[in-house]
Structure 1
């Protein structure tokens, strides 16, 4: 009996030692007690890197915590950057032993990210572009008594420029701290310079200018259905700005994204926007103008396939008549019934008030 208990205890002890040894091997540099130890490790951190699984979540949280620590203590850090024909040589140090240890730790893990192609700060254009070329980057690090020296090089001239721009950006982190870290850093050089952003009118030619952003998030989806609830008025002698916004909606789906996307758009005019749909004669008599300045844009919307409805209740309530409404619009029983029916038909509700 005693021999059996002894064997069970021995097996348990060996198992504990094996687990402890594995844990110590995975902790990396600076994870023990003393200067440079971070806090909050082990919690997942969304938005940093692109790994999956608990191990990666711990790495994300670790790097995030290290980065915040260095930004908080940026005034204690000094940095020298030397540009080389094929990259950079940097020296980053601090007289504070804890900050110096954290600098070495941060560089160790960033070197590992480059070598294993595990991105970080992918919302920042410069960092995203740098990690896209991580295979072509070589990092050599050397710890110093107060920090770390880094040699970062590439055989690709374009990647060399990325490395040099990144080094300058890190120097700005050291100089300014959090205000600089909150910024996006555009890529100042590229293999092919992008064309400058210019406004254009892909469908409605005179109204609703847009810029094309093919790489942006939330691209227009094909077969979208939009119900615009338009109640806002404006000066009687000028185009209602909200009507031009609808033209912009049309142009966004036609040519502001990567590819054109078909969309069904319906506009319901009521409230202060009701009388924008009067024909020229009725509008001129009502507002003492030469004509209705909204009709040209409304007609362009009609030609682009936009359905235009006028609230019959608001129209009569404001002294208008259904036969005074311009021919290419429809008088509905009410804005209420129009909005309810359109949403029941799958249209997304977009108010312009």
Structure 2
């Protein structure tokens, strides 16, 4: 019995361990989304720094795997808070379009469109939304891929288009993440 429990714990921990690269560890906001590395930065963060960052996501993750772009949004939140920026001063929006739309789907809808496979980004998206990160799906992509609002994970919103979402957030002072 004890042996089975130990094996179960190892299997549960394996995905988290597989995602952590050497030198990287859990962040302070989302310990299991977006591992971070300590850096002796020569670019000091200004006192009172505020970050408003928009991520453009168009790539679809491999079914069952976490989207690297979505993970980067978590890493961004974690590393800035770890560097002393108050969590409320790190505002992130993720704008998704094209094939990346698949990663925003509820489990049953995702599985139906991906040969029964699981959405590996779902848990990270849920945690990011819980931490205040906003997610918008391009409405034009949704129409083209026959995705309805009811198909989306809770908390994911629809925008007229990705172009519109980026323009609105740029007017709100957000910078576009270049990665």
Offset at residue 220 of structure 1 (A): 4.4
- Equivalent positions of 1:1-353 (< 5 A) are 199-213=25-39, 215-220=40-45, 222-255=49-82, 257=83, 259-261=84-86, 262-352=89-179
Aligned-pair Cα RMSD in Å: 1.7
Q: Structure 2 unaligned runs (5+)?
A: 1-22
Cα 1:219/1:315, change in 2 over 3 Å: farther
Q: Name the CA shift for 1:313/1:220 in 2 (closer, same or farther; >3 Å).
A: farther
Q: 1:248 to 1:319 in 2, by over 3 A?
A: same
Deviation at 1:199, TM superposition (A): 2.5
Q: 1:281 to 1:219 in 2, by over 3 A?
A: farther
SS of 1:199 mapped into structure 2:
coil
> Per chain length, whose mean CA-contact separation is higher, i.e. which structure has more relative contact order (CA < 8 Å, sep 6+)?
2
Distance 1:219-1:312 versus aligned 2 partners, 3 A rule: farther
Tell me how far apart the structure 2 counterparts of residues 240 and 334 of structure 1 sit (CA, whole Å).
Answer: 21
Aligned residues, how many? 153
- TM-score, length-scaled by structure 2: 0.78
Return the index of the structure with the highest Cα Rg.
Answer: 1
Q: Distance in 1 between matches of 2:26 and 2:150?
A: 36
Residue 238 of structure 1: CA displacement?
1.5
CA distance in 2, matches of 1:247, 1:208: 5
Looking at structure 1, the residues matched to 66 and 103 of structure 2 have their Cα atoms a distance apart, in angstroms, of: 9
- Relative to the length of structure 1, the TM-score reads 0.41
Contact 1:230 1:351 in 2 (8 A): no
